[in-house]
Structures are given as C-alpha cells and as structure tokens.
Chain A
Amino acid sequence: GAVVSQHPSRVICKSGTSVKIECRSLDFQATTMFWYRQFPKKSLMLMATSNEGSKATYEQGVEKDKFLINHASLTLSTLTVTSAHPEDSSFYICSVLAPTQETQYFGPGTRLLVL
C-alpha cells in the first residue's frame, strides 16, 4: 500500500498550548485526506475531511475553531489542536484517499498527551 507519514509520532504538551500534526502522502498526490481521533480502547472517529485548496469539512460535534485543518499542497495536510486540554489527549490518525477513490491509506498515528 501507499506510504503515509505523520509527524510527530508522539507529543506531550502543556494545557493551553497548540500542537500541529503533519500528514504527508509520500507515494501520490492526494486531493482528499481525512483526520480521525481514537480514544483508548475505542474505535476511530472521523473528525474531518481535508480537501486540497479548500476548507475542510468537519463532522458533527467537531469544533472547527479548535481543530484547524490546512491542506495547502497535494501531499501535506496539517491538523492543529488549539488551546489543547487534557481531554484532547488521544491518538490522531490521518488517511489519504487512494487515486481510485475506493480505499484509504492510513498514517501511523500521532499520540497526543496534554498535561
């Protein structure tokens, strides 16, 4: 499958600070990427769909002003968690929509811990 990278893999930050997570598609250009969040022992929850050159589409209940998504190029999408709080601690995973638009390739995830 295609290679998708995320950086950083782990991050610890203080409450009130902002954290940026990068997602890169290394094998092909991706107009559509997705951001998910996964709490311990729970399933993945889609947060938003990131479209290159346009605004992200957020799922119901996800605060767009708190989770800023930028998809400025065909290989890079970033998720910024603004004013992070301990309840934002989670495993954040991005994915890239395959050129066939039938499947998604996932990144390795970023584990965020907010103290």
Chain B
Amino acid sequence: DAKTTQPNSMESNEEEPVHLPCNHSTISGTDYIHWYRQLPSQGPEYVIHGLTSNVNNRMASLAIAEDRKSSTLILHRATLRDAAVYYCILVPGGSEKLVFGKGTKLTVNP
C-alpha cells in the first residue's frame, strides 16, 4: 500500500482556518486520497476524498497538488469539535480497504 506522511500533531485556534498536510510521494495514478477523522473514544468519520481535482463539501476542502504527491485538508473555521486525529489514506481504485497510518492529532485552542 502506498504510504502517507503526516505531522504527528498540529495546533490551531478556534474560528481560524486549519491546513493539514499530507505527503504521498509514491502515489499511483489510480490511488484516491481519502481523509477520515477520529474524535476521542469514537469510531472514525469520513471527511472527504478526491482523485485529481480539488474537492469541497460541508465539512472541509481538499486541495491536491498538481503532481498529486501531496494534499492538504482545509478546515475553514476550526471549532472545538474539530479536535481529533485526522488520517490521510490512499485507496487504490477498486479497493475497498482502508489502511490507517498514525494520522495528525489536531488540538483546537479556545
């Protein structure tokens, strides 16, 4: 499985934007970029996914580099409820499996 690299932790302030980076230099052409997050003591939650183009939904935006070797999850206005571990996962096209790495623990300060 192609690997992703994320910072272990990040901090942000409430109501400010947050940019969570993910490096995936060995990504293949059919790998989708998925983001999930896990709040404390809960199961993970789907955030967003994309292939080549930037994506937006009600939770976040996903910015994908032109060479696809990196991507950034953008939370436009962080709230205390966004404090979680964020996982960037590469999913080969046609695959159903998710392989979780260590993720980035996001702390949101009031």
**Interface residues, chain A, with chain B CB atoms under 8 Å away:** 1, 4, 6, 32, 34, 36, 43-46, 49, 93-95, 97, 101-109
Q: How many residues does chain B have at the interface if contact means C-beta atoms less than 8 Å apart?
A: 19
Docked complex Cα distance between A109 and B39 (Å): 12
* Cβ–Cβ contact B34 & A103, under 8 A: yes
The reply to whether B43 and A109 form a contact with Cβ atoms under 8 Å apart is: yes
Docked pose: A112 CA to B46 CA in angstroms: 24
Q: A45-B100, A46-B98, A49-B96 are in contact. Are A103 and B42 (CB under 8 A)?
A: no
Chain B residues engaging chain A, CB cutoff 8 angstroms: 32, 34, 38, 41-46, 49, 87, 96-103
Q: Can you give 29 A-B contacts (C-beta < 8 A)?
A: A1-B45, A1-B46, A32-B96, A36-B100, A43-B100, A43-B101, A43-B103, A44-B38, A44-B44, A44-B98, A45-B100, A49-B97, A94-B43, A95-B43, A97-B96, A102-B32, A103-B34, A103-B46, A103-B49, A104-B46, A104-B96, A105-B46, A106-B44, A107-B43, A108-B42, A108-B43, A109-B41, A109-B42, A109-B43
